[in-house]
A = this chain, B = another copy of it.
Amino acid sequence: MRGMNMSTSQPGTEIGFTWPIRVYYEDTDAGGIVFYANYLKFFERARTEWLRACGVDQNRLADEADAIFIVRSTAVDYRAPARLDDVVKVVSRIERLGRASVDFAQEAWRDGTLLATGSIRVGCVDRIALRPAAIPPPVLAALRRGPNVNDRGLSTDND
């Protein structure tokens, strides 16, 4: 549905998974810019699509392995404002892949301007008790492989 690509062209970033997001009124605040808390939403959309591109379906993960990913911590630096109608591109990559948690490094860009950077720690928990749990081996393998650039599923791209 949305464009996904393995971009090397993003200025200042390494190879990563890029997810474009359009800014609507709902995302802005009375300062005329994107409300800072909403970058956490943008980052999550990009991580979700990253997981999907890795072949990890979070609903199936919950049903079959009783495991869900939850956010343990977030740290975001705001560099420049985004505005209504901007296309914000979120670049995501794994910084650390642990037994029961994953650290993502994420960046939000508008063309050549870095808008925000985020460090998001996501933990695997069993979905009943919400206690830490090992990431199921097939999921761990999929995360190690990374997004499959040839299987873009719903996605196409021409941005």
Contacts and interface: CB of A to CB of B under 8 A. Distances in A.
Interface string A37-71: 11011001100100000000111000000001011
User: Copy number in this complex?
Assistant: 4
A57 B22 CA distance: 14
A76 B74 contact: yes
Of the candidates A25, A33, A83, the one having the most CB atoms from chain B within 10 angstroms of its own CB is A25
A85 interface: yes
Contacts of A71: 36, 78
A100 to B, nearest CB: 15
Contacts of A58: 84-85
A24 B41 contact: yes
Contact of A2 (B77, B130, B158): B158
A41 B58 CA distance: 24
A139 B106 CA distance: 35
Given A25-B30, A157-B3, A59 B45 contact: no
Contacts of A155: 1, 158
A36 B41 CA distance: 10
6 contacts: A20-B159, A29-B29, A29-B30, A30-B33, A59-B84, A154-B158
